Structures are given as structure tokens and as C-alpha cells.
A and B are shown apart, each in its own frame.
Chain A
Amino acid sequence: GDSVTQMEGPVTLSEEAFLTINCTYTATGYPSLFWYVQYPGEGLQLLLKATKADDKGSNKGFEATYRKETTSFHLEKGSVQVSDSAVYFCALSEKKGAQKLVFGQGTRLTINP
């Protein structure tokens, strides 16, 4: 079945550092790809998405490009802030059927001032 693999955390960085969180996927079709963020004690919020190959999703300084050839959707940010501390989930969804989301294991990010 479909699956998503993220780099294991936790990840700890200093403020203004460059961030990369790797994400690769396996899917039978051509899924949509997502990054969700979860702040402590809260539900998930969509951070960005891409629905087809070579699409780049971006939001709040975060970016990720849908790479079909490497089946990847790595999350990047050029200069992280303390407020970016959260758990980040990579996910995919098939475009047909119930469109249920399949999540990676999550990566906990801590940014120190």
C-alpha cells in the first residue's frame, strides 16, 4: 500500500539556521503531497501542498517541491524562527476514491533562540 517515510527526529536548530526535513513516498498512482504542522496540544494545520510533479508548495517561508523521479517532497526553510518549533508531518493522498491521508511518522523540530 501507499506509505510515507520522513527523516527521524528530533531536530534541534538555532534560530536563523537552514532547515531540511526529508520525505519520500511510495504510491501506486500519482498522489497529492502535503506538509502538515502540529503545535503542542493542537490538531493539524496544512502548511503547504503540491498536486502534481514539479509543483512547488510554499507558505510562511517553507517550500517543498514534488519530485516524481525521486518520489520525494522535502521540506525546506532558509531561516527558521523559534515559533517554527512544532511537529511536521509529510502526507500523501490519492486523488480518487476516499482520498484518505497517509502520514509519515512526524518530525519534531525545536528551534533555540
Chain B
Amino acid sequence: GAVVSQHPSRVICKSGTSVKIECRSLDFQATTMFWYRQFPKQSLMLMATSNEGSKATYEQGVEKDKFLINHASLTLSTLTVTSAHPEDSSFYICSARDPGTADTEAFFGQGTRLTVV
């Protein structure tokens, strides 16, 4: 199946700094990617839909100025957590669909564990 690669898998940063997470579709072009956040022992909450060449669509309650999303190419979307605080510590996961198939399956990256100290 299609492969989505997320980097880094783990990152520790200091409060007030910014962290960038990359999500790449390795063998297909993804016009749309999704960013999720997962709290410990909880489900995945959709943060935003990343659209290639246009602005991301954020879910209600997600601060767009804090979680900057850029989808500059058909194989790369980035999530930047700006001015990170300890409450931003979480597991962030991206996903993408392969528009070249009729399948509705979404492929997920391996996730990024962010710890803000």
C-alpha cells in the first residue's frame, strides 16, 4: 500500500520555541493531508485539513496562528507548533489519501511525540 512518512518521530523542545513536523507521501501525490492530535489514552482529534496550494481548513477550537500548516507541494505538508507550551505536548499524526485510486483508505504516518519542557 501507499506510504506516508512523518518526521521526526520524537522531539523535545523548550517552552517558547517552535517545532516543525513533516509529513510526506512517498509514492503518491496527495492534494489533501490531515493532521490529528492524540492525547494519552484518547482518540484522535482532527486538527486541520491541509490543501495543496491553498490555506488549510482548521477544525473548530484549533488556533491557526499556533498550529501553522503549509502544504507547498503534492508530497509534503508541514505542521509548525509555534511558541510551544507544555500543554502542547502530545502525539501528532498525519494522514493522506491516494487520489489515484478509487479506494477510500487513508494512510497514516508513524506519528510524532512532542514533549515541551
Interface residues, chain A, CB within 8 Å of chain B? 32, 34, 36, 41-46, 49, 51, 89, 93, 95, 98-106, 108
Interface range on chain B (Cβ under 8 Å from partner): 20 to 34
Instruction: Please tell me if the beta carbons of A105 and B46 are within 8 angstroms of each other in the complex.
Output: no
Docked-complex contact B110 and A43, CB < 8 angstroms: yes
Contact of A43 among B41, B57, B108 (CB under 8 A): B108
Count the A-B residue pairs with Cβ separation under 8 angstroms: how many? 54
Interface of chain B, helix or strand or loop or mixed?
strand
Does A106 lie within 8 Å of B43, measured CB to CB? yes
Most chain A CB atoms below 10 A, which of B1, B49, B104 = B104
* Most-contacted residue by chain A among B42, B108, B111 (CB, 10 A): B108
Tell whether B34 is near chain A: CB-to-CB under 8 Å.
yes
Q: Does A43 lie within 8 Å of B93, measured CB to CB? A: yes
19 A-B residue pairings within 8 Å (CB atoms): A32-B104, A42-B110, A42-B111, A43-B6, A46-B1, A46-B107, A49-B104, A89-B44, A95-B104, A98-B32, A98-B57, A99-B97, A99-B104, A100-B46, A101-B34, A101-B106, A103-B43, A104-B43, A106-B42
> Residue of B at shortest CB range from A101?
B106
Q: Taking CB as reference atom, which chain A residue is nearest B4?
A: A43
Within the complex, the shortest CB–CB distance from B36 to chain A, in Å, comes to 8
CB distance from B66 to the nearest CB of A (A): 20
Report the separation of the CA atoms of residues A49 and B102 in the bound assembly, to the nearest whole angstrom: 14
B95 in the interface, Cβ–Cβ < 8 Å? yes
Q: How far is the CA of A47 from the CA of B41 in the complex (A)?
A: 20
Q: Which residue of A lies closest to B59 (CB)?
A: A100
A103 vs B37: C-alpha distance when bound (angstroms): 12
Mark interface residues in B16-56 (1 if CB within 8 Å of A CB, else 0): 00000000000000001010000001111010010000000
